[in-house]
């Protein structure tokens, strides 16, 4: 007999899985997932290859041993039977064949002397019968082959692996050469299947352990990589908070070390640049302050002279030459403007130097507004909507500066009448100044409180200095308040001043102590000239 093997039919189905695409925002989590996927792919691939190779080796080894024993039994025992055996002979021979070392079930099929088909069964696996043999295998076994130089036998041994009720079997069949019975064999492969299942579980456990190990290694690697990144983020936040002396400790020569060096170089350059700018800014502030103080002495003398000239202008006609009267009026006007500018510059330098202080007193807000309007002869142009009895603890002089700038700005650039209203909030006082002019252009609104800003670039020289609203905002800030500018839906601009009802907390020293009070209950501070 020659051994020509048929194609095997697999008894275990492969499984396929897919992972849906996930999006993560954590770099650490993404690193762990990537490491895990790489490890899982490598472990599954290695386990799959190992399982497949071991499976084929185990099944081939068991199959070859069974087929070799079956072929030997067919030659020795079935070949010794007569051409037309009886059923008893087939039954006895099948039992002898089944008692071999491989312990398989045997079915012998032959024809007795009367031409009747007789069967001999070893009695194993609930009676192995011809119906348990696949039809394709029976057809292949009964097919007679042509004799040729490459094929010396008319019949061959064929086998096939099948699954019956979840149990794998090896089924084989062949005919006795020269006449005799046809033999079929069935061998359970359950022990081999259990061995393969154990191998699969072992490989699965190994894959799981590899995945856990990869996750731990990924966590360690992520920590190693992300710790310098975290330190860089903390340093960047400290740098953003103004701590320009922040530096990173550099170790190693990798890319993260290069990044740390670059950060340190950038921080050092930024610190130097900021220090240079601060020095220039301090020099500019000192120059403005010194210039303002130096201007006050000659300006005082000039102001005294202009007051005399103004008295001459107001005297009876003929006291001054009509030819020089316009020039004198111009000198008086420009001297007043210069005096206001110097006072504003000195006030700005106090704010920039941080020397501006509050001198608090209990004031009636309505009385304070009335006094401001009356002192500047604005009673006919301003409407006041304020109830008496709204008290606040504020700096009266600074509140007068704020009101004068807001109302004066409304009268100068808006339209009469200017309406001033006062409302109480839970812990603050809200003062609104509204005019009836064309309003403020939208592109100007963000800049109305900027220093020296003027809405019309074609009129760089005007009666104002461009510092009034800026000084008003600084005085509001020193109270812990705020000023906002907007356009009213009914027309005109609206400036809203919000001040706290009590600004005492802002006058406390850093150690928590308050200023000393004078006899009138007002906070005593060093006097400020204005």
At 42 the three-state DSSP class reads helix
Cβ-contact 495, 410 below 8 angstroms:
yes
Q: For the residues of 448-499, what is the DSSP string, one character each? A: TTSTT--S-TT--S-SS-S-HHHHHHHHHHHTT-EEEEEE-TTSSEEEEEEE
Q: For the chain, what percent of residues have pLDDT higher than 70?
A: 83
Q: What would the mean pLDDT of 419-448 be, rounded to a whole number?
A: 89
- Lowest-pLDDT choice from 101-105, 169-173, 320-324, 459-463: 459-463
Of 189, 176, 182, 170, the residue nearest 67 (C-alpha): 170
Encoded tokens for 181: 């019975």
pLDDT at 434: 93
Cβ-contact 154, 177 below 8 angstroms:
yes
Polymer length in residues for the chain = 530
d(Cα 418, Cα 493) in Å, to the nearest integer? 10
pLDDT at 459: 40
Query: Which of 4-8, 33-37, 134-138, 356-360 holds the top average pLDDT?
Result: 134-138
Does position 430 have pLDDT exceeding 90, yes or no? yes
Q: Tell me the per-residue pLDDT of 297-339, one tens digit each, with 9 for 90 and over.
A: 787 777 787 777 777 777 665 566 777 777 877 887 778 777 7
**Would you tell me how many other CB atoms lie within 10 Å of the CB of residue 271?**
16
At 105 the three-state DSSP class reads strand
Average pLDDT over the chain reads 78
Does position 95 have pLDDT exceeding 70, yes or no? yes
SS (H, E, C) 441-454: CCCCHHHCCCCCCC
Q: What would the mean pLDDT of 188-213 be, rounded to a whole number?
A: 81
Of 206, 172, 197, 204, the residue nearest 55 (C-alpha): 197
| Sole residue written with tokens 């100007």 | 444
Rounded to two decimals, what is the model's pTM?
A: 0.45
Higher pLDDT among residues 372 and 95, named by residue: 372
Higher pLDDT among residues 265 and 43, named by residue: 265
Q: What would the mean pLDDT of 96-118 be, rounded to a whole number?
A: 83
Q: What would the mean pLDDT of 408-416 be, rounded to a whole number?
A: 84
Q: What would the mean pLDDT of 130-153 be, rounded to a whole number?
A: 83
Q: What would the mean pLDDT of 389-394 be, rounded to a whole number?
A: 90
pLDDT band with cut points at 50, 70 and 90 for residue 483: very high
Does position 468 have pLDDT exceeding 50, yes or no? yes
Most distant CA pair in the chain, distance: 170
Cβ-contact 271, 244 below 8 angstroms:
yes
Does position 288 have pLDDT exceeding 80, yes or no? no
Sheet holding 105-111, edge to edge: 117-121, 105-111, 182-188, 167-175, 158-164
């Amino acid at each position: 007999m020659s051994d020509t093997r048929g194609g095997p039919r697999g008894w275990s189905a492969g499984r396929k899985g897919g992972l849906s695409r996930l999006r993560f925002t954590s770099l650490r989590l993404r690193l762990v997932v990537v490491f895990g996927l790489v490890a899982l792919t490598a472990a599954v691939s290695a386990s799959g290859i190992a399982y497949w190779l071991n499976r084929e080796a185990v099944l081939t080894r068991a199959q070859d041993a069974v087929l070799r024993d079956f072929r030997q039994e067919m030659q020795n025992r079935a070949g010794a039977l007569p051409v037309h055996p009886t059923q008893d002979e087939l039954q006895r021979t099948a039992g002898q064949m089944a008692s071999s070392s491989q312990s398989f079930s045997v079915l012998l099929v032959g024809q007795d002397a009367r031409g009747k088909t007789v069967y001999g069964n070893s009695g194993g696996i609930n009676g192995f019968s011809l119906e348990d043999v696949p039809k394709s295998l029976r057809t292949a076994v009964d097919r007679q082959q042509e004799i040729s130089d490459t094929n010396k036998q008319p019949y061959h041994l064929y086998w096939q692996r099948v699954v019956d009720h979840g149990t794998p079997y090896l089924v084989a069949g062949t005919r006795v050469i020269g006449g005799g019975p046809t033999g079929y064999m069935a061998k359970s492969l359950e022990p081999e299947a259990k061995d393969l299942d154990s191998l699969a579980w072992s490989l699965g456990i190994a894959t799981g352990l590899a995945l856990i190990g990869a996750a731990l290694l990924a966590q360690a690697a992520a920590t190693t990589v992300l710790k310098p990144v975290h330190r860089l983020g903390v340093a960047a936040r400290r740098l953003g908070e103004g701590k320009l002396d922040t530096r990173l400790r550099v170790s190693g020569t990798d890319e993260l070390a290069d990044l740390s060096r670059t950060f340190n170089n950038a921080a050092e350059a930024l610190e130097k640049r900021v220090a240079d700018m601060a020095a220039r800014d301090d020099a500019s502030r000192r120059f403005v302050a010194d210039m303002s103080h130096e201007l006050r002495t000659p300006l005082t003398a000039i102001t005294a002279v202009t007051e005399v000239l103004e008295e001459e202008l107001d005297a009876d006609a003929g006291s001054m030459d009509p030819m020089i009267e316009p020039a004198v009026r111009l000198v008086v006007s420009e001297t007043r403007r210069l005096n206001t500018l110097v006072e504003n510059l000195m006030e700005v330098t106090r704010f920039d130097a941080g020397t501006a202080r509050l001198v608090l007193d209990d004031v009636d807000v309505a009385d304070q507004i009335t006094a401001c309007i009356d002192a500047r002869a604005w009673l006919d142009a301003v409407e006041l909507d304020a109830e008496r009895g709204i008290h606040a603890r504020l700096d009266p002089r600074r509140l007068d500066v704020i009101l004068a700038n807001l109302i004066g700005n409304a009268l100068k650039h808006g339209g009469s009448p200017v309406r001033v209203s006062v409302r109480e909030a839970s812990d603050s006082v809200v003062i609104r100044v509204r005019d009836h002019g064309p309003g403020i252009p939208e592109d100007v609104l963000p800049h109305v409180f900027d220093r020296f800003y003027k809405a019309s670039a074609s009129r760089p020289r005007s009666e104002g200095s461009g510092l009034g609203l800026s000084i008003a905002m600084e005085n509001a800030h020193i109270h812990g308040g705020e000023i906002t500018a907007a356009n009213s839906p009914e027309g005109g601009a609206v400036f809203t001043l919000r001040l706290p009802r009590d600004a005492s907390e802002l006058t406390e020293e850093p150690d928590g102590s308050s200023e000393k009070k004078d006899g009138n209950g007002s906070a005593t501070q060093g006097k400020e000239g204005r």
